[in-house]
Amino acid sequence: MSGNIELLNTTLAATRAADRAALIAYLPAGFPTVDGGIEAVKAVIAGGADIVEIGLPHSDPVLDGPVIQTADDIALRAGVRIADVMRTVREAHEATGVPILVMTYWNPIDRYGVERFTAELAEAGGAGCILPDLPVQESALWREHADKHGLATVFVVAPSSQDARLATITAAGSGFVYAASLMGVTGTRASVGAQAQDLVGRTRATTDLPVCVGLGVSNATQAAEVAGFADGVIVGSAFVKAMLDAPDEAAGLAAVRSLAGELAEGVRKR
C-alpha cells in the first residue's frame, strides 16, 4: 500500500494557492493516553490544523524541550509502543482525511527495521516522516524504502546550516523542509526572530520544496509573523502545554481545539 505523500503535496499546494501558510500541529502519540492522543489530533484538526505531526515518544529527545519531554515521559511510562503510533496515524487520518506525518529520532526506526516501519506507516495512511537526527549522508536506506512506500522524507535545517549544506539537505528531502527557527530545543518563545526569515530565504534559494518553520511559535501573532515569510507554521509545545495545564482530558481537548482555531486565524492574517 502506498503512503500519502501526494496528499501532503496537494495540501501544501492548496494553502499556497490560497495565499496563506499551512498550520502544522505536533502532538506526541500516547499522550495523555493513546485514545486521548488520537482525540487530541482530531481536535486540532477540527480547530483548523491543515497537517499533523505525530511524535514517537523517545527517552532522550535531543530536539525537544521540557514540555514535550514531560509528555513523552507520560506516554513512555504508560508503555506506548510503535504500534500505538501507527494506530494514532491510522485512526486520525481515517477520521479526518488530513495528511499525518510521524516525527521521530532515528534509533527507534533502526531497531524496528526500516522496511517494516515504512510499510506499516504507509499501510496506516501516513504521509511521511520528519527525521531530525538522521544525517543526509546516512539516509539512503531510509529514502529508498520511503520512496517505495510513497512517504515523504522531511529533513530539518537550522540557522547554523551553511548554504552548501542546505543544498545537500534539500536535494535529498521531499514533502517540505522543516526550518528550525533558532538554535536550541523546542518550546514557546517570546519572539521567533529574524533568524527564521533569513533561514527560509536561504533554504528557498536551494529548492522548490515548501519551507515550514517550527520552534517557538505559540500564539496567533507569532503565527501571523511567520506565515508572512514561510509556507507553513509548525506548532508543538504550545499544544502540549495546553493539554498538560488542563484539569482533565475534556478540558485539554477543548483547549487545543481553541488554540488551533486562534493559530489558524493567525496564518490567514499574514
Q: Which of 39, 50, 53, 120 is catalytic?
A: 53
Helix (H) or strand (E) holding 157: strand 156-157
Helix (H) or strand (E) holding 232: strand 232-235
Three-class SS state of 125: coil
CB of 29 within 8 A of CB of 54? Answer: yes
* CB-facing half-sphere around the CA of 264: CA atoms within 13 A: 17
Q: Which of 50, 64, 72, 231 is catalytic?
A: 64
Q: Is 94 a catalytic residue?
A: no
Report helix angle 237-245 to 66-77, nearest 10.
Answer: 60
Contacts of 172 (CB under 8 A, 6+ apart): 136, 139, 143, 153, 155
Residues of the chain by 3-state class (helix, strand, coil), percent to 5: 50, 15, 35
Q: Which amino acid is at 205?
A: A
Closest CA to 128 of 154, 89, 106, 94: 154
Cell numbers that stand for 124 in this block: 496506516
> Which residue shows C-alpha cell 530536539?
63
Q: Is 39 a catalytic residue?
A: no
Helix (H) or strand (E) holding 93: helix 82-96
Active site residues: 53, 64
